[in-house]
């Protein structure tokens, strides 16, 4: 993801340099290591490679971690869509505490097993793990698994190079239906990273957003222009959707407004107007 936002935020810029220095020169154990993230236990499997090594040294997407830590409070509800191995779910749990809730969604079976380990390591926390994808309708579909640990998509043709190694049949649910079934009427923050399927996930949240005006969640969303045509939508439709619910897009540092038409394969934070 482009690092322009880091250059615009001096604290993040120097933190990023510090953690990447640790990543480059630090020594890490082999295999599975249980990390402590402010009291939350996170099973970090360093055998998975660069991504989890970056997590171990605190260098993984520090902008997203900062947004989560800044905006969650004890007792809040955090939803992690495309949770992968559960790193941001663990960061969220460390902020909402034992009085809050974390709801994780990850459809890829072998990644979901790490979420189950994460939940088992933290029995005093309210952590719900769901082996399912989210979208705009209840369905079953195929997910395409790439060589990249963090890159698995419901969109055929999304990956720019190489072919997916494996496909899995998975369940797809609507997030607004899930929240209604769980009797959740307020969510503080939702992180959506679904390799191009972010807008259908949002469309499946419409019912909840309509009921929650005045108490809308902060959204952290990965934006990929090439995905819109694959989902038969446009960036203009996405922009209209966000404006209808009075969301403003910011660079992931949270300090500067973002231009949706210039954002490409990067995370943005959407903050509801008061």
Residue ranges of the domains in the chain? 62-134+174-272
Higher pLDDT, 263 or 104: 104
Q: Are 267 and 220 in contact (CB under 8 A)?
A: yes
Burial level of 206, CB count in 10 A (0-12/13-18/19+)? middle
- 129, 70, 87, 101: CA torsion to nearest 10: -20
Residues in the chain: 274
Residue 32 pairs with which residues in a beta bridge? 45
In this prediction, residue 213 carries a pLDDT of 72
**What's the mean pLDDT in 8-19?**
61
With a threshold of 0.85, does the pTM exceed it?
yes
Kindly report each contact of residues 162-167 with a partner whose C-beta sits within 8 Å and lies 24 or more positions away, as own/partner: 167/142, 167/143
Higher pLDDT, 166 or 243: 243
In this prediction, residue 164 carries a pLDDT of 64
In the predicted structure, residue 20 carries a pLDDT above the cut 70: no
Q: Are 268 and 198 in contact (CB under 8 A)?
A: no
In this prediction, residue 28 carries a pLDDT of 77
Higher pLDDT, 248 or 195: 248
Cα dist from 202 to 173, 237, 240, 242, whole Å: 12, 12, 12, 9
In the predicted structure, residue 18 carries a pLDDT above the cut 60: no
In this prediction, residue 81 carries a pLDDT of 98
**DSSP code string of 208-262:** HHHHTTTSPPEEEEEE-HHHHHHTT--HHHHHHHHHHTTEEEEETTSSSB--TTT
Of the candidates 118, 75, 121, the residue with the CA atom closest to the CA atom of residue 97:
75
Alpha-carbon gap, residue 116 to 125, rounded angstroms: 13
∠ at Cα 188 (10, 173), nearest 5°? 115
In the predicted structure, residue 19 carries a pLDDT above the cut 60: no
- Strand spans (E) along 178-217: 189-192
Range name among 16-25, 27-36, 172-181, 234-243 with the lowest pLDDT average: 16-25
Alpha-carbon gap, residue 182 to 22, rounded angstroms: 41
In the predicted structure, residue 96 carries a pLDDT above the cut 90: yes
* CATH dotted code for 62-134+174-272: 3.40.50.150
Of the candidates 66, 56, 67, 68, the residue with the CA atom closest to the CA atom of residue 20:
56
In the predicted structure, residue 3 carries a pLDDT above the cut 50: no
Q: Which SS3 state, helix, strand or coil, does residue 266 take?
A: strand
In this prediction, residue 15 carries a pLDDT of 66
User: pLDDT for 51-62, tens place per residue?
Assistant: 999 999 888 988
Q: Hey, what are 241's tokens?
A: 């959707």
In this prediction, residue 222 carries a pLDDT of 92
In the predicted structure, residue 1 carries a pLDDT above the cut 50: no
In this prediction, residue 167 carries a pLDDT of 87
User: pLDDT for 150-208, tens place per residue?
Assistant: 678 898 888 766 666 688 899 999 999 999 999 999 999 999 999 899 999 999 999 99
């Amino acid at each position: 993801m482009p690092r322009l936002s880091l250059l615009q935020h001096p604290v993040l810029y120097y933190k990023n340099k510090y953690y990447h220095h640790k990543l480059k020169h630090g020594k890490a154990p082999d295999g599975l290591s249980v990390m402590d993230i402010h009291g939350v236990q996170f099973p970090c499997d360093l055998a998975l490679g660069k991504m989890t090594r970056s997590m171990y040294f605190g260098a993984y997407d520090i902008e997203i971690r900062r947004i989560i830590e800044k905006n969650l409070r004890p007792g809040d509800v955090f939803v992690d869509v495309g949770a992968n191995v559960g790193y941001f779910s663990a960061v969220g749990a460390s902020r909402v505490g034992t009085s809050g809730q974390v709801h994780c969604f990850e459809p890829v079976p072998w990644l979901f097993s790490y979420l189950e380990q994460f939940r088992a390591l933290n029995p005093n926390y309210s952590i719900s793990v769901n082996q399912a994808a989210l979208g705009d309708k209840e369905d079953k579909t195929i997910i395409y698994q790439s060589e990249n640990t963090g890159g698995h998509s419901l969109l055929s043709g999304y990956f720019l190079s190489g072919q997916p190694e494996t496909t899995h049949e998975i369940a797809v649910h609507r997030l607004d239906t899930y929240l209604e079934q769980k009797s959740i009427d307020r969510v503080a923050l939702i992180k959506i990273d679904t390799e191009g399927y972010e807008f259908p996930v949002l469309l499946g949240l419409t019912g909840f957003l309509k009921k929650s005006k005045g108490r809308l969640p902060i959204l952290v969303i990965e934006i990929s222009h090439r995905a819109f045509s694959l989902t038969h939508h446009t960036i203009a439709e996405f922009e209209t959707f966000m404006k209808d619910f009075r969301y403003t897009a910011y660079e992931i540092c949270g300090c500067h407004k973002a231009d949706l038409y210039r954002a490409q394969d990067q995370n943005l934070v959407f903050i509801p107007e008061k």
